[in-house]
Chain A
Amino acid sequence: MQYLLLINSEEGGWEKMTKAEQEQGMAAYTAYGQALKSAGAYVGSDRLQPSSTASTVRVKDGKTKVLNGPYAESKEQLAGYYLIEAKDIDAAITWAAKCPGAHHGVMEVRPVWPM
């Protein structure tokens, strides 16, 4: 099965870190990605730009309405994701717990609708 691991974390945390801390953070994510790859669980991943760069779009009565900002205003915002292959939810939860995002934020584990 495929699971999407969503990293939700407080924004601005990154900027407040020292250069050394940022490097450490990057290294942790790189190591995590490597671990997923060598276990054959890695499908894809991306880091996202902060929610201040987000726009919401909806079409109503044929008109496109665009608003500045993320869909949900909350302290924690979607910061990135990993798409992984795992045998069941226990395996997916184990991977989510290993992600650095579980330490500086909250991970959401979502099964992918099989097509």
Chain B
Amino acid sequence: MPAQGDQLVHDIAQKVARTSYGKLIAFLAKQTRDVAGAEDALSEAFAAALADWPQKGVPDNPEAWLMAVAKRKIIDAARRRRSGEASADHLQLMAEELEAMTSKVRTIPDERLALMFACAHPAIDPGIRSPLILQTVLGLDAADIGSAFLVTPAAMGQRLARAKNKIKVAGIPFRVPDRAELGERLDAVLEAIYAAYTKGWNDPSNVQNNLAGEAIWLGRLIVELLPREAEALGLLALMLFLQSRRGARRSLGGEFVPLSDQDPLLWDGEMIDEAERLLRRAGEMGVIGRYQLEAAIQSAHAALRVAGATDWEAIVELYKGLYKITVSQVVAINLAVALSEAKGPEAGLAALPELSANPELMEFQPDWAARAALLSRVELFGEAAEAYGMAIGLESDPPVQNFLLTQLSKVNSRMQ
């Protein structure tokens, strides 16, 4: 039954790829600083496994087998380059070091954290950090990443290649920064992971990419490797709180359901409980930060499930704290919405950021949607209709667009 055997081998290889890909890349790339070279070598090793394992059986330690083959491929590549490139001696030396290192190693040390810190190094363009982590740690390809980040596969591939080249040529180290630097550098890693999550969150229909799930996986990895970092715990809690509402964000007919209309019974209680535990653990570290505050806000929303009401006063205070840290206009909008729930729509409208002082908000859909909702609540229907028009024009997700169109027609009918 060769077909069945092939399928089995394929499944095993896929499972190993899932759990070991980033570990193998991180270990190989740390020795050579050559991420692209490590990726090429590992993909050749996986190809060799698919050819070899059906005949000779799956090795006892597939990870070690792949590592040995990938290591040989890297050394071969270094030898091939020897005549072509002046720095070949250096490469040869690295190849020998790699051989010496890996031959001693029984279990492969986990260098994924060091790899993530290299990808989110301050010398790497902030916009490419998240895609770089997704590719190197999870093995996602440029086409999938590109589609999530709204960039063509070719352009994304080029940008990723440029960043990998910079890691190699500029000498970006693969290490976890010292205590003194860790906070700031960890922020960059967490930001990259959260960027991946929000890409997935904004595109809930794209199950195939499932970037949100991948980002949570990375969040779990960070918490496992840095169990005492409050903000890493906070980020994982935040993502789990948001993810718990995944099933409630669309009706059975695929229509957008805003948070205020969601059925709390459709939220994932287990995920919420886990998020609460993580947030409590983060609180015990005594270091407050952006992600813990955002998670606390989501926790307050999640309380609706058991308390039957939302404590908007508490949410207002949390947003105020968050605004102090971030000075973000997006936070200011959320604060205004929370204020409108706690103190009435007039208070919310008064707290919305001035558009003239923040021209970038002119193209920010959530600002217009929030503005429109508040304007319609104070019965300024003409202005509300205009704001809904702006929000609809800026939205690209059809279910959200439809929701906004429904709101607009309600406002229009009130005007007559």
Minimum CB–CB distance from A95 to chain B (whole Å) comes to: 13
Contact of B170 with A by CB under 8 A: yes
A90 — which chain B residues lie within 8 A by C-beta?
173
Pick the residue among A86, A92, A111, A115 that contacts B169 (CB under 8 A).
A111
Interface string of B185-218 (1 = CB under 8 A from A): 0000000000000000000000000000000000
Contact of B260 with A by CB under 8 A: no
Pick the residue among B86, B87, B122, B171 that contacts A88 (CB under 8 A).
B171
Determine the interface band of chain B, counting residues with CB < 8 A from chain A: 10 to 19
Pairwise interchain contact A1-B171, C-beta atoms closer than 8 A:
yes
A111 — which chain B residues lie within 8 A by C-beta?
169-171
* Nearest A residue (CB) for B174: A88
* Nearest B residue (CB) for A115: B86
Pairwise interchain contact A92-B86, C-beta atoms closer than 8 A:
no
Interface string of A80-102 (1 = CB under 8 A from B): 00000011111011000000000
Pairwise interchain contact B90-A89, C-beta atoms closer than 8 A:
no
Pairwise interchain contact B171-A92, C-beta atoms closer than 8 A:
yes
Q: Please, how many angstroms separate the alpha-carbon atoms of A3 and B171 in the complex?
A: 10
Pick the residue among A3, A93, A114 that contacts B90 (CB under 8 A).
A114
B122 — which chain A residues lie within 8 A by C-beta?
93
Pairwise interchain contact B171-A114, C-beta atoms closer than 8 A:
no
* Nearest A residue (CB) for B178: A90
Q: Please, how many angstroms separate the alpha-carbon atoms of A49 and B46 in the complex?
A: 57
* Nearest A residue (CB) for B181: A90
Q: Which of B86-145 contact A (CB under 8 A)?
A: 86-87, 90, 121-123
* Nearest A residue (CB) for B90: A114
* Nearest B residue (CB) for A3: B171
A3 — which chain B residues lie within 8 A by C-beta?
171
Pairwise interchain contact B173-A114, C-beta atoms closer than 8 A:
no
B86 — which chain A residues lie within 8 A by C-beta?
114-115
B172 — which chain A residues lie within 8 A by C-beta?
88-89
Q: Which of A88, A90, A114, A115 counts the most chain B CB atoms within 10 A?
A: A90
Minimum CB–CB distance from A107 to chain B (whole Å) comes to: 13
B173 — which chain A residues lie within 8 A by C-beta?
87-90
Minimum CB–CB distance from B172 to chain A (whole Å) comes to: 5
B169 — which chain A residues lie within 8 A by C-beta?
111
Q: Please, how many angstroms separate the alpha-carbon atoms of A86 and B170 in the complex?
A: 11
Interface string of A1-41 (1 = CB under 8 A from B): 10100000000000000000000000000000000000000
Q: Which of B90, B170, B171, B172 counts the most chain A CB atoms within 10 A?
A: B171
Q: Please, how many angstroms separate the alpha-carbon atoms of A111 and B90 in the complex?
A: 16
26 contacts between A and B (CB under 8 A): A1-B171, A3-B171, A86-B171, A87-B171, A87-B173, A88-B171, A88-B172, A88-B173, A89-B121, A89-B123, A89-B170, A89-B171, A89-B172, A89-B173, A90-B173, A92-B171, A93-B122, A93-B123, A111-B169, A111-B170, A111-B171, A114-B86, A114-B87, A114-B90, A115-B86, A115-B87
**Those 9 A-B pairs whose CB atoms lie nearest each other, nearest first:** A88-B173, A88-B171, A114-B87, A1-B171, A89-B171, A111-B170, A89-B170, A89-B172, A115-B86
